[in-house]
Amino acid sequence: MLYDTDSNRSKFEVSLFNKDVRALVKENRSHTFYEDRWADTQVHDISAEDEREARRLMAERFSPEEGFVIERVARCG
């Protein structure tokens, strides 16, 4: 899980993929840096105060400028 939970935070599941890797894999090629698994949706847990913060924190770790796309953010529990 990214970031520890405390009493003011909730756990979220964030689903994301890399659009550049996905496009290359469709052409039977690989990205020079990211593994082919990033063509598929990956799910990461994160703790945040709300969905907006969860999206912001994930975008800091998985940059949209590097091709990462957040598909879904869901509060757990």
Spatial separation of the C-alpha atoms in residues 10 and 31, rounded to whole Å? 34
Model pTM score? 0.88
Domains of the chain: 10-75 (3.30.1280)
Q: Which helix (H) or strand (E) holds 43?
A: strand 42-48
**Which residues have CB under 8 Å from 69's CB, separation 6+?**
16, 17, 18, 19
| Residue-wise pLDDT tens digits, 15-61 | 999 999 999 999 999 999 999 999 999 999 999 999 999 999 999 99
- Helices (H), ranges, 1-77: 19-26, 51-61
